[in-house]
Amino acid sequence: MKIIGTTLRDCVIVEPTIFEDHRGVFFEGFNLNEFNEKTGIHLLVKQMNCSQSKKGVLRGLHLQTGEYAQSKLVFVTKGEALDVVVDIRKDSPTFGKHLTVRLSAENRKRIFVPKGFAHGFVSLQDGTELNYLVDEYYNKAHDSGISYADPELNIDWEIDPENVILSEKDKNLPTFRQLISE
């Protein structure tokens, strides 16, 4: 497993070691001990979430607040997604900054999203399957988010806005400033 730092504090890309031969491919999708040792983070997975999305489906930017804040290890098992994270930790030197990374079944990259980040993705192919290993259980009362189209964040989702497919919830999320002023 290779750990690659990003421009956002505590947010890392995880690349598994891949063994390929005439039979196919083998790799460890995740090794908790190795991850904890290499990152200094002590992740304890409590739940796994899975989604399957049509091309153009945008989910996010989501987070859980307070004691139910979640760290996530996110990866794609089918298709491709543009994954986006935003640091909303007020004491962080990267507060208000975002990062985008392409995750696909082909590149097998994972992104570790620490507590205190908003997370979202847009499906770039029909049938994209995105999985999250999370360290806290979902709690509806602590569910929150930021509008994907927030002009202050100015995220390039690499998709024509007219082709974006959103849930009602995601259409009505607050802006970054509205969220952090609550």
**Catalytic residue positions, numbered:** 62, 132
Phi/psi zone of residue 47: left (φ > 0), alpha (ψ -120 to 50 degrees), beta?
beta
Q: How far apart are CA 34 and CA 128, in angstroms?
A: 28
Burial class (CB in 10 A: 0-12, 13-18, 19+), 128: buried
Those residues with Cβ within 8 angstroms of residue 167's Cβ, 6 or more apart along the chain or in another chain: 59
Q: How far is CA 175 from CA 20, 41, 61, 103, in A?
A: 45, 30, 10, 25
CA distance 94 to 129: 29
CA distance 85 to 91: 17
Q: Which tokens go with 100? A: 């985008």
